[in-house]
Amino acid sequence: MKNKILPVFVVLVLVMFAAPAAWAEILIGVAAPITGPSAAIGAQIEHGAVMAARDINAAGGIRGKKVVLDIVDDASEPKQAVSAANKLAGDGVRFVVAHFNSGAALPASSVYDENSMLALSPGVTNPQLTEAGYPLQFRICGRDDQQGAFAASYIKNTIPNPKVAIIQDKTAYGMGIAEKFKQRLNELGIREISYDGVNITDKDFTALVAKIKQSGADTIYFGGMYGPASLLLRQLEDQSVKVTFIGGDAMMSNELAATAGDAVNNVMNTFNADPRKIPGNDALVRKFRESGFEPEAYTLYSYAAMQLFKQAIESAGDDPEAAAEYLKEKGPFKTVLGDIEFDEKGDPKSVNFVINRWYKGQDGKYTYAEVGKK
């Protein structure tokens, strides 16, 4: 069958009818680790953004336009993150829920800056993200210099004469938060008894566990992802090494408990206050659960990022620079995380860190609850 060439008139008519549909959309990118070692948190970011888009569209969209998501996978890899950011730029995306891993976000941020894209990260904690001077780069979580310092102060205040071993997983995030923790710990008059790095893909920590056991450490601070942390926990238990184990926000995934098993009991990590427990979020949390997804950790952070885009675009228009200026000058903004207000760097002005402890619930499954706060 021969290809038919449509008459020019017919082509023009089709374009006229198709164009309004294209013009009536607002494209928002979501760059997250859909695959790779942070995939569990990538799923949180993806689900949060998708649910927010559905809710925004059900309420009439943004300025009467439908929100359409362009989801790309950074796989926690710097090169793939840059490729993903360039794809979004090529697709015409101007607003991005941008990344979780520091190692992915930092190189991608230059792409967003070069293409005048407003990037709002739900979970990147490396200070350099907003210290680089990119005016369209924001985050809605705390920073490593805040979180690491908080963990160090918690140890100083709750563990008498602690013998601390520091371990990091050699990622930009893990090294960054471990260094900030170490810096504050030393300022408080406590010297770590060891400092070690592991690879995020390592499976066997036998030698490291033996070293910790011989050192007499009673506390481990782990800077890194839930994957190596969960395996390390199991191997510490296998060798009967009893320590207080504290990590950062990247351990906030049920995958930690799924892999570590009973070894996760009493493990602690820093994070912001659980947004699932904020008054007014009950119906939203229930909707996530009814869809088959538990909105833990960063799920509501990406949802909040979408809410912030909605408020900025509705008030300042769909120009990223105008929207960024609006976010920095106005506020506080109502979100599922509570009120958020930004400083000139693009960081939230107020961050409330807490210490969470993992425990076995009445249903036999491990979960976490707050035991201390800033």
- Beta partners for 342? 348
How is the beta sheet containing 95-98 ordered, strand by strand? 66-73, 25-32, 95-98, 118-121, 137-139
Count of helix runs (H) and strand runs (E) in the chain: 13, 14
Confidence (pLDDT) at 12: 33
Structure tokens at 338: 């509570």
Exposure b/e, 61-79, CB count within 10 A at least 16 = b:
bbeebebebebbbbbbbbe
Confidence (pLDDT) at 19: 37
Q: Does residue 224 come out as left (phi exceeding 0), alpha (psi in the -120 to 50 range) or beta?
A: left
Structure tokens at 106: 């930092």
Place of tokens 């892999």: 259
Confidence (pLDDT) at 373: 60
Q: How far apart are CA 40 and CA 229, in angstroms?
A: 14
**Distant-in-sequence, close-in-space partners of 260: CB < 8 Å, separation ≥ 6:** 229, 230, 231, 233, 234, 267
On the question of a cis peptide bond just before residue 332, with omega within 30 degrees of 0, the verdict is yes
Give, for all 374 residues of the chain, the pLDDT tens digit: 333 333 333 333 333 333 344 448 999 999 999 999 999 999 999 999 999 999 999 999 999 999 999 999 999 999 999 999 999 999 999 999 999 999 999 999 999 999 999 999 999 999 999 999 999 999 999 999 999 999 999 999 999 999 999 999 999 999 999 999 999 999 999 999 999 999 999 999 999 999 999 999 999 999 999 999 999 999 999 999 999 999 999 998 889 999 999 999 999 999 988 999 999 999 999 999 999 999 999 999 999 999 999 999 999 999 999 999 999 999 999 999 999 999 999 999 998 899 999 999 999 999 999 986 65
Confidence (pLDDT) at 240: 96
Q: How far apart are CA 82 and CA 363, in angstroms?
A: 43
264: closest CA among 372, 194, 365? Answer: 365
Domains assigned to the chain: 8-141+298-340 (3.40.50.2300), 145-273+353-373 (3.40.50.2300)
Confidence (pLDDT) at 24: 82
Q: What is the pTM of this model?
A: 0.89
Structure tokens at 251: 């351990």
Q: Would you mind telling me the total number of residues written for the chain in this entry?
A: 374
Q: Which amino acid is at 60?
A: G
Q: How far apart are CA 311 and CA 335, in angstroms?
A: 10
Q: Which amino acid is at 211?
A: K
